[in-house]
Amino acid sequence: MKELKYPPNLFEILLIDNSSNDGSTEFVKTNFPRVKIVSLDKNYGFGGGSNRGVKYSNGEYIAFLNNDTEVTDDWLMQLVKASVNHSVPLCASKTLFMDKPYVVEYGGAKFTVNGRGYSIALGKKDWEENRCFYTGYPCAASMLIKRDTFLKLGGFDEDYFACLDDTDLGWRAWLYGYSVLYCSASIVYHVAGGTAGRGRISPLKAFHGTKDSFLNILKNLELKNLVQGLVLAIIYDFVEFLLLIKRRDTECARNKVKAYFWVIKNVSSTIRKRRVIQRKRRVSDKWLFDNGLMASLNEAIHEYLRLSKLNSNASLGI
C-alpha cells in the first residue's frame, strides 16, 4: 500500500471477508489498520461478497482484486488512466502467473457460444508493449469499473458464486451498450486457482463452471443462437464428462451432473433474468462476432485444443 503510485487520500481499501476462519481478518486488523474490514455472516461467493462490499465503498470507481494476487506499484494508476483517456467505464489488468511471471494468464478475452470464454493470450510468453484494446470481458482477479455503471448493470449475478461471473458481467456490459477495455500497462500477478482449486478443473469448477455456462447461454444469447449454444454446451460437457470418467475423477464427474439438475431447478428465475437483459440489449450477437468480442466456432475449437495440449504437457497450473 505504501508503494502504490496513487495519492493515498484518493482511495480506500476494503477487505470483504466471506465468513473466513483462518485468522486473516485479525492479521489485517493488527498489521494494516487503514484497511476497512467488512465481515459477512456467511460465504456469499465472489459475486455476492463483492456486491455487498460495494455498498460499503465511497469511490467513483470500484477496483476488484482477488485474494491471491500481488499488484505492481502503478497497477491502479494505469487502470484509472485507461478509463479516463478512453472514456470507458470498465477496464481490466493484464494478469501474469505468480509462479511464472513471464507467462500470461489473462491478456484480453473472447466469449464463446457455449456460454464460456477464454483468455486470448493464456499460456503465452509476456511480450506485448503497453497498449489498450477492447475486449469481451475482464478478469475479475483485477478489474476497475465505474460505480454507477456497476450499479446499472446490477452488479455480479450471485447465482454464479465462483466461476464465469466476470464473463457474465462483461457480456452484460456490452449488451447494455458499455465498453470493456484491456489495459496491458496495469499488471497483476495471480496464483490462479488459489481459491477455486489448481488445474483446469476441480470439484468446485466442475459444478459452478458447468451451471454458469448455461446461465450465460440462457440469459445473454439471442433466441436464434440459444439452441446452438445449448447443443454445443451439452457436447462440450459430455466430452469432458467422459474424460473425467476415464481419469476416474468421479467427484468432478458427479458435480457436472449436479450442475444440470441445478440449471433445470432454477430455469424459471433464469428466464426472468433473461427477459430483463434482452429488453435492455443494445447490440446484437452478430455485432459481437463482427467486432471480435465473440469467438467463431472454429476459433473456440482451436483454442480448446491448444489449452488441452498445454494442460496435457503439465506446463501450466491452470
- Residue of 78, 5, 60, 65 whose CA lies nearest to 35: 65
Angle between helices 250-265 and 267-280 (to 10 degrees): 70
67-71, 125-129, 236-240, 311-315: which has the minimum mean pLDDT? Answer: 311-315
Q: Hey, where are the domains in the chain?
A: 60-318
pLDDT above 70 for 197? no
Does the structural domain 60-318 have CATH classification 3.90.550?
Answer: yes
Phi, psi (deg, nearest 5) at residue 191: -65, -35
pLDDT at 155: 96
Q: So what's the pLDDT on residue 293? A: 97
Work out the pLDDT band at 57, boundaries 50, 70, 90.
Answer: very high
pLDDT at 242 over 80: yes
Residues 136-165 have pLDDT tens digits of: 999 999 999 999 999 999 999 999 998 999
| CA separation, residue 28 to residues 32, 34, 43, 287, 317 (Å) | 5, 9, 19, 46, 28
pLDDT band at 318 (very low <50, low <70, confident <90, very high): very low
Per-residue b or e along 206-231, where b marks 16 or more CB atoms closer than 10 Å to that residue's CB: bbbbbbbbbbbbbbbbeeebbeebbe
Is the confidence at residue 262, as pLDDT, over 60? yes
Band (pLDDT 50/70/90 cuts) for residue 315 is: very low
pLDDT score, position 311: 65
The Cα 110–Cα 292 span in angstroms is 7
Phi, psi of 223 (to 5 degrees): -55, -40
Smallest CA-to-CA distance from 210 within 230, 183, 180 is with 230
Q: Give the number of residues written for the chain.
A: 318
pLDDT for residue 312? 54
Output the pLDDT for position 316: 47
The position carrying cell 464427474 is 253
Q: What is the pLDDT of residues 90-127, one digit of tens each?
A: 999 999 999 999 999 999 999 999 999 999 989 889 87
